[in-house]
Structure 1
Amino acid sequence: MVDARERFVASGSLRIWTERVGDPGLPAVLMVMGSGAQSVFCPDALVGRLVERGVQVIRFDHRDTGRSSVVDFDAHPYTIGDMARDCLAVLDGYGLGSAHVAGASLGGMIAQWLGVHAPGRVRSLTVISSSPMGHDPRAVWARAQAGEPADPDDLPPPSPAYVAHLAARLPPGVETDVALLRVFNGPVLPFDEPAARSTLELALSRAIDPAAAAHHGRAVWRDDPGLKAPLSSITAPTSIVHGDQDPFYPVGHARALAAAIPGAVLHVVPGMGHSLSSPGLPEQIADLIRL
């Protein structure tokens, strides 16, 4: 990796850890990771391929992950919109008026929020392995966990393999997280277990408070009127990138997103699940990020 620089930026009273890779004079790509996911879950191979495409890349630790500030969620609860404002603070911290924004899973919903509410800051939008930000999945999940048939009028439920993983109630720890990433990888592409374990161990070693990442799961359920804004108002050139083996958000979520955002281009990646844990996949996804 070339020309990588770390720094903290302020988002209100919070300190957000960030890293910039590449030439600061080039257009920027802001990578926004998913729920509970530190910057290290954005693979170096993906960042390197983007730099080869002629951009700088900024990745960061969400609040409550990695080296960024830990929040007392009971005293200061926050929403997806607040996490999106952290992204704007990162851009401000680097003096960037706008950036290409690419978000994965929950990061994809944060990216949608930015596309709707901060259109001037978003040069292009890439939503990876995500779902429409205003969709409430609780009914879908309740039916899946109860073993009931899916509602044909709603978005598709998570896969039986993922539901079974939840039902197993494995103890917290790296091995359980490896098992989860194996499920996320899906059954088609090879799963790089040593690399996945190494990333999880790195994340554990650099977290101020590993348990704080669970706050993201609480933030998702907090009422945020900004999530109800129509996706049809997004004006940034948009690509939807999604695996046809995604066990968490089956591909119907991507099709709904592509239908809701004017001019969005849908890329369905054969064999891809809900993670980037297969050799060669990070580079493939980097080539699909809209620039």
Structure 2
Amino acid sequence: MTDHHHLSHGEKLVEIDDVELCFETFGNPADPAILLIDGATASMLWWEAELCEQIARGDRFVIRYDNRDTGRSTSYPPGRPGYVFTDLAGDALGILDALDVERAHIVCRSMSGGIGLIIGVDHPDRVESLTFVSTSTGQDGLPAPSAELASGVPADPDPADSGAVVDFVVASAKACSGGSPYFDETAARTLVERDVARTRDIASTLVNHYAMAFEGSSRDFAYIDAPTLVVHGDHDPVFPLPHGHALCDAIPGSTLLVLEGAGHDLPKPLWDVFVPALLQHTRGGRR
């Protein structure tokens, strides 16, 4: 484990077709690349810099970025996202192209599990391995989100009132933690304040991922042939744990890591479980 090259290289903007995407890298570009893709409404900040550095210290080149309509990346009018799900998968590959990364270890959280599915099935040559965090196959018969989740999320805020937006996002994050003993409200508020301050159009962030068309997510997880790790919290109120088991069952040869005490998030006290597992999983790549 080397410790001399793990720091961030700073945020950069790259234009891919007509879309501007903000990304940040950590570590040595000569090391195996790990691309972190976050879920609905979440900018790259939700892959905390400290977590990215911890992974990079394991001799990995870590890339995080703002999906469209989050953070500093291109945004569209609220309720009218000018893209569909497969476009977001194209953005992920565009980031790899911009960094001259031929193949990466792809880590997808929550909604972006669909991005990992599209890339894994349609562009297997770009994938060394896949990791799905807090996501789902979306198949029928799996448990619905917990009742506590709905009661914990406040009414939608006025996007013009940044204080109300911060309170809303923090309350949503707390609800998504599923009552996890590890939820740190102070740290969450600090992150959310920074996130809201750097976001191009928070009104679009709050709604557009839910408004886009999910065409293309009809692909089947059974066709993924990259080494796959499924990571799921046993307190997840959004996709209760059976979703993680179903995803692992659907992907041939995949492995399930259950994070005890985690909700829909990756709480800091569990990084010492998650990071070694991710480093182990990304050691080899395809045989």
TM-score by length of 2: 0.88
1:169 to 2:118 alignment: no
Question: Could you tell me how far apart the structure 1 residues matched to 2:79 and 2:236 are?
Answer: 33
Matched, 1:186 2:178: yes
Q: 1:215 aligns with which of 208, 212, 232?
A: 208
Instruction: Provide, for residues 239-274 of structure 1, a one-character-per-residue CA deviation record: whole Å limited to 9, x for no partner.
Output: 000001100000111111111111010111111101
Report if the CA contact (8 A) 2:8-2:24 is conserved: no
Instruction: Map Cα deviations across residues 93-149 of structure 1 (whole Å, 9 max, x no partner).
Output: 0011110000110122211221111111110000000011xx37xxxxxxxxxxxxx
Shift of 1:76: 6.0
Query: Which letter does structure 1 place at the counterpart of 2:209?
Result: H
Give the aligned partner of residue 242 of structure 1: 232
Task: Look up the equivalent residue of 1:230 and give its one-letter code.
Answer: D
Pairing of 1:59-208 with structure 2 (within 5 A): 59-72=64-77, 77-132=82-137, 135=138, 154-166=141-153, 168-169=154-155, 171=157, 172-208=164-200
State the SS of the aligned residue for 1:241. strand
Deviation digits for residues 26-81 of structure 1 (CA, Å, limit 9, x no counterpart):
11100001101111110123212211211110000111111111124776632221
- CA distance in 1 between partners of 2:78 and 2:188 (Å): 29
Letter in 2 for 1:154: G
CA distance change for structure 1 residues 205 and 15 in 2, over 3 Å: closer, same or farther? same
Distance in 2 (CA, whole Å) between partners of 1:30 and 1:271 is: 25
**Distance in 2, Cα, partners of 1:283 & 1:206:** 29
> Structure 1: which 5+ residue stretches go unaligned?
137-152
Q: Secondary structure at the match of 2:217?
A: helix
| CA spacing shift, 1:187–1:19, aligned 2, 3 Å | same
* Aligned match of 2:3: none
Aligned residue identity for 2:147: P
Distance 2:81 2:108 in 1: 25
CA distance in 2, matches of 1:223, 1:115: 16
Provide the C-alpha distance between the structure 1 equivalents of 2:276 and 2:203, rounded to a whole number of angstroms: 34
Structure 2 stretches lacking a partner, 5+ long: 1-5, 158-163, 283-287
TM-score norm. by structure 1 comes to: 0.87
- 1:280 match: 269
Aligned partners of 1:9 and 1:89 also within 8 Å: no
The CA deviation at 1:229 is 1.6
Q: Equivalent residue for 2:243?
A: 253
Q: Deviations over 1:135-188 (max 9, x none)?
A: 37xxxxxxxxxxxxxxxx61111011102234x526352112211111112224
SS at match of 2:116: helix
* Distance across 2 between alignment mates of 1:161 and 1:53: 37
Work out whether residues 3 and 22 of structure 1, in 8 Å CA contact, stay in contact via their aligned partners in 2: yes
**Secondary structure of the structure 2 residue equivalent to 1:59:** strand
- CA 1:90–1:273: 2 relative to 1, 3 Å: same
Give the aligned partner of residue 32 of structure 2: 27
Q: Report the identity percentage.
A: 34
- Contact 1:91 / 1:97 at 8 angstroms: preserved in 2? yes
1:58 and 2:63 aligned: yes
Instruction: Report deviation, 1:9.
Output: 2.0
Correspondence 1:10 to 2:2: no
**Structure 1 residues 188 and 69: CA distance shift in structure 2, 3 A:** closer
Look up the equivalent residue of 1:100 and give its one-letter code: H
- Between the aligned partners of 2:76 and 2:165, the Cα distance in structure 1 is 22
